[in-house]
Amino acid sequence: MTKADIVNEISKSTGIDKASVLETVEKFMEIVKDSLASDENVYLRGFGSFIVKTRSQKTARNISKNTTIIIPEHKIPAFKPAKVFMDQVK
């Protein structure tokens, strides 16, 4: 399902025009991205949590040059579904 599909579904089920729904969805995604960029987690009860995880430093190999490189500690965005969500998907 794409963003356009989500906008169409919300528009059909609520009767709100697609432009307003698209603007709302875009704003939601922007707020989630900005929150994660500033190290704030986003919790949506009954759906899940958008969280920032820290990956520790690790050693990797560049096989083509036969060298070892160090990948520094870094942060990545992640999604952790709620238990209700997981039970519904199973």
Query: Could you tell me the CATH number of the domain that includes residue 79?
Result: 4.10.520.10
3-state secondary structure 23-64: HHHHHHHHHHHHHHHCCCCEEECCCEEEEEEEECCEEEEECC
**pLDDT given for residue 42 in this prediction:** 97
**Two tokens, residue 1:** 């399902």
How many CB atoms within 10 Å of residue 22?
17
Please tell me whether residues 65 and 75 are part of one structural domain.
yes
Please tell me whether residues 9 and 48 are part of one structural domain.
no
Please tell me whether residues 45 and 30 are part of one structural domain.
no
Please give the Cα distance from 81 to 87 (Å, whole number).
10
User: What is the pTM (predicted TM-score) of this model?
Assistant: 0.80
- 8-47 confidence digits (pLDDT tens): 999 999 999 999 999 999 999 999 999 999 999 999 999 9
Find the domain containing 27 and state its range. 1-39
Average pLDDT, integer, range 58-63: 92
**Mean pLDDT (the chain, rounded):** 95
